[in-house]
Structure 1
Amino acid sequence: MTADESWRLLEQLVQEVNQQTEQLKEMQRKARELSATATSEDGMVTVTVGPRGEVRTIEFDPRVYRRLSPSELSACVVEQIGHATRQVSAGMKELMEPFVPDLPFDDLFGEGTDFESFLPRPPGTT
């Protein structure tokens, strides 16, 4: 291999690394902005969660207090948080897939494992 060929190869490798770095930065930006919203079938409860599954907003239809008991309302909120968190996990997996296309989440980490299980948890939670 000549010196010119070596330099061209090195330039090509540097260009590829720079391109991958930019793609990773873009993926990180999109991941930070990722959110999902879930609304109950009756439209009474809407929940939005952020990229780590943190609850950002909970909205209630004004009629919710006449239609649902406190325990039904609580269960509905929890259910919508679960739906939105699964949507965020799916979005995060979709963002990451180009970088780890063949990562078999279920085979490696157990059936039903999703990206959320890899996220850091706030102190004091389990």
Structure 2
Amino acid sequence: MDPSEFRLGKELSALGLDNELQRSLSAMNAFQAELESITVTVVSPDRQIKVTIGVHGDVRELEFDPGIFRDQDPRSLAAAILATLTEASTAMAAKIAARYDDLAERLS
């Protein structure tokens, strides 16, 4: 995003705020790019399931220990997968919140 998109260039310059707006926009653009690259990987407590998700909750990777198919019935396996995905989503939300806190600190 460019300050000219706000059509405030002359007004901000007159107030001496154009550099501040540019700094804020630059920080926000960097933040957006950083968010898009964040992933979270979670391993189930029994170490048989590994899930990696992206910032939008998209599953990027799903790995199973080969023995999982012998050890668990389909319903238990489904429940374990969902629990691991839920843990990954919770971890992602915490990671995003921390990044927002960092952005707020940079902008203050």
How far apart in 2 are the matches of 1:29 and 1:91?
15
Counterpart of 1:97 in structure 2 is: 101
TM-score when normalising by structure 1 = 0.67
Q: Which residue of 2 aligns with 1:67?
A: 71
Q: Of Structure 1 and Structure 2, which has the larger fraction of its residues in helix?
A: 2
**Gaps spanning 5+ residues in structure 2: where?**
1-12
- Structure 2 SS opposite 1:66: helix
Q: TM-score, normalised by structure 2?
A: 0.77
> Taking every aligned residue pair, what percent have the same amino acid on both sides?
25
How big is the shift at 1:9? 5.2
Letter matched to residue 62 of structure 2: I
- Aligned twin of 1:120: none
Distance 1:87 1:33 in 2: 15
Consecutive unaligned residues of structure 1, counting only runs of 5 or more, are 1-6, 102-126
Question: Aligned pairs, how many?
Answer: 93
Structure 2 partner of 1:41: 45
What is the RMSD of the two structures over their aligned residues, measured on CA atoms?
Answer: 1.9
Q: Deviations over 1:55-77 (max 9, x none)?
A: 12110011111111111111111
